[in-house]
Structure 1
Amino acid sequence: MDQANRPTPEREEAAREFEQHRPRLFSLAYRMLGSAAEAEDAVQDAYLRWHGAETGQVAAPGPWLNKVLTNLCLTRLTSARARREEYPGTWLPEPVAGAALGPLERAEQREAVSFAVLTMMERLSPPERAAVVLHDAFGYSHREVAGVLDRTEAAARQLYHRGRTRLAAEAPPTGPADAEQAAALLARFLRAAADGDLEQLEELLAAQVVVWTDGGGRARAALRPVHGRTSAARFLAGLFERFTDGVRLELAEANGGPVLLGWEGDALTSVGLLEAGPDGVTAVRILRNPDKLAHYAHRHRPLSQNR
């Protein structure tokens, strides 16, 4: 490295400072974008802004970085919404290992990063999404949210309440009480689907169940959701028959809950998860787009190994 490009002690210290904030910044960006890859890119853009700033003049690095990153995400969301409207078939969020999302001890924390909530977040405007994420996940007051978004406090409060109202209107029914019950339900579902047991599958599914599959044009998947208990059971049994030959199945954790992984050799080829209500499984979401599985593949935490 030539002398002109050699990092100064101040720059090295600034880089170390940024790394202390990186996990929280990724957690924020992922909740904003629903994409691990886009979240990493946004965090890297924030680092470049940090690297170019006069960091000695930044009195509070954490809030400064949160504001920079939030606004980078708002810009990305505007273009992402246009891309997702042209996405081939169903768009689903990327799975992320819980350790990358910060504390998920409480049910509310797990719900906030669930696929159901992240999918519903797509229906919010970017400022509404930012207001909800900053307030609920990071404890920002409405006044602090207003400072990040360059709005008045009243406007920030309105964004938050509008976003929360829209989310509440589409909230899914309450599912299993804890991760152990959810994992047990997933294991029962797996056995029935693998055996092609349509009767048992139908017993596990709610009458209005919906199945979404996301191939992104990169892997075979249904382009439209499959609705209803009978159609869903037949579709899922056929899916397992076609795509699980030579595939190793594994129960693991993602986004604060249990998921089913499909491996072909060392390649992760699918991630499936269930959402349950009082009457059974209300939704099945299956990701097969390889672009969305790469980030998770080396970061998952196994729950158990199917034999």
Structure 2
Amino acid sequence: MRVGPYHVRRKEDDSNFFIQNVTFSLTTLSHYWNTKNFDLKNHQNTLFPYAYNILGTVEDAKDAIQDVLAKYQSINPAHIKNEMGYLTKSVINRSINIKNRKAKITMQKVWLPEPISTEKADDNLIGEEILSYSLLVLFEKLTTRERAVFILKEAFDYSHKEIAETIGISIENSRKLLSRGKLKLGAHKTSSPKNYSAVPSPHMENYIHAIKNGEVKLLGEMLSEDVALSADGGKDIKVIRELTTGKMATSNLLFYVFKTYQKSLSIEVSEVNHQPALLFFDGDILINCQVFEFENSKIRHIYAVIDPNKLKTFFR
């Protein structure tokens, strides 16, 4: 069973921990953890990738972890032999429950994960357990249990026995859920959920140049024939079109959006969930995060996150 770190920053004059500026409030728990010699920071670091990869949002992941830690405070841990194993199992199942509840009330045609910066993490805090953006998007095709089984087996190297014990199913059911999940992902499934394809920076610079200068031919050469553009504005932002497919339609929309809404914004090249991305800022406010999926050096998919609730915690 393998676990790992994620991108954490700590504010020197505060007792709270930050994940990309998302605060874990420890006020009610700090005294308890100190008296129990409980390594809260390390536990949060370890638990976060499990919750985030299942839920796809930082806020919900944070809530799942907080719920589990608060409940753990109220029990007698003397009978628990493996504290980290117990907390991990609890966070996974809490995340599954939250995801199921959220799925029932989500009415959007396009729902995109909350982006996480994987570019500026310190060497020893790189979010290597955070899955690629494209894979998190594809996970929306799966049931919550299929998603959880796939993540635990393919990303965290759990055995089917460990998965069965963790989420309360049989070993055979775990195998079936994994097989069913892989079938749904189909040709989009990579050999490993952590196979990240590096894209040379000139690709992104050429894209910016084409968009800014209205160079239709250059942009067309960068897009695959079946390119798609997905946009998530959440509840607050009405996007022009949630899903656009095809080279011509996508190209026309990109030029229109830049000319109408993005011309005055500053653009930064970044890395989000281990994939190339563009960040559009109005001053210090992140307005749009575009995550790019490349195939054979061509842009295959652009994921545009415009929902302010999914951008407010992004670390610049």
Deviation string, structure 1 residues 56-105 (Cα, Å, up to 9, x no partner): 33211111011101111111111111222x12x52111101224997566
User: The residue matched to 2:300 in structure 1 has which SS?
Assistant: strand
Hey, what does 2:97 align to over in structure 1? 75
**Structure that is richer in helix per residue:** 1
Hey, what does 2:79 align to over in structure 1? 57
Determine the C-alpha separation between the residues in 1 that align with 2:228 and 2:28: 56
Match of residue 33, structure 1, among 52, 55, 58: 55
Structure 1 residue 259: Cα displacement:
1.0
Determine the C-alpha separation between the residues in 1 that align with 2:140 and 2:232: 15
Alignment of 1:86-235 (within 5 A): 86-87=107-108, 89-98=109-118, 99=121, 113-171=131-189, 178-181=197-200, 183-235=201-253
Aligned residues: 284
Aligned residue type for 1:179:
A
Match of residue 244, structure 1, among 254, 259, 262: 262
**Mean Cα displacement is larger for which, 146-155 or 216-225?**
216-225
Determine the C-alpha separation between the residues in 1 that align with 2:199 and 2:295: 15
Determine the C-alpha separation between the residues in 2 that align with 1:156 and 1:237: 46
Alignment of 1:252-271 (within 5 A): 252-271=270-289
Determine the C-alpha separation between the residues in 2 that align with 1:132 and 1:266: 37
Q: Gaps spanning 5+ residues in structure 1: where?
A: 301-307
Determine the C-alpha separation between the residues in 2 that align with 1:203 and 1:158: 42
Q: 1:265 to 1:75 in 2, by over 3 A?
A: same
Determine the C-alpha separation between the residues in 2 that align with 1:43 and 1:289: 23
Q: 1:246 to 1:163 in 2, by over 3 A?
A: same
Determine the C-alpha separation between the residues in 2 that align with 1:6 and 1:282: 47
Structure 1 residue 17: Cα displacement:
2.7
Over the residues paired in the alignment, what is the CA RMSD in angstroms? Answer: 2.7
Structure 1 residue 19: Cα displacement:
2.7
Q: 1:194 to 1:145 in 2, by over 3 A?
A: same
Hey, what does 2:38 align to over in structure 1? 16
Deviation string, structure 1 residues 149-183 (Cα, Å, up to 9, x no partner): 111222222222222232234448xxx984242x3
Hey, what does 2:313 align to over in structure 1? 295
User: The residue matched to 2:47 in structure 1 has which SS?
Assistant: helix
Hey, what does 2:4 align to over in structure 1? none
TM-score w.r.t. length of structure 1: 0.84
Q: Is the 8 A contact 1:217 1:289 kept in 2?
A: yes
Identity over aligned residues, as a percent?
24
Hey, what does 2:65 align to over in structure 1? 43
User: The residue matched to 1:294 in structure 2 has which SS?
Assistant: coil
Q: Gaps spanning 5+ residues in structure 2: where?
A: 1-26
User: The residue matched to 2:264 in structure 1 has which SS?
Assistant: coil
Q: Is the 8 A contact 2:133 2:274 kept in 1?
A: no
Q: Is the 8 A contact 1:90 1:223 kept in 2?
A: no
Structure 1 residue 16: Cα displacement:
3.1
Aligned residue type for 1:160:
L
Determine the C-alpha separation between the residues in 2 that align with 1:125 and 1:177: 24
TM-score w.r.t. length of structure 2: 0.82
Hey, what does 2:18 align to over in structure 1? none
Structure 1 residue 196: Cα displacement:
1.4
Determine the C-alpha separation between the residues in 2 that align with 1:7 and 1:141: 33
Q: 1:294 to 1:10 in 2, by over 3 A?
A: closer
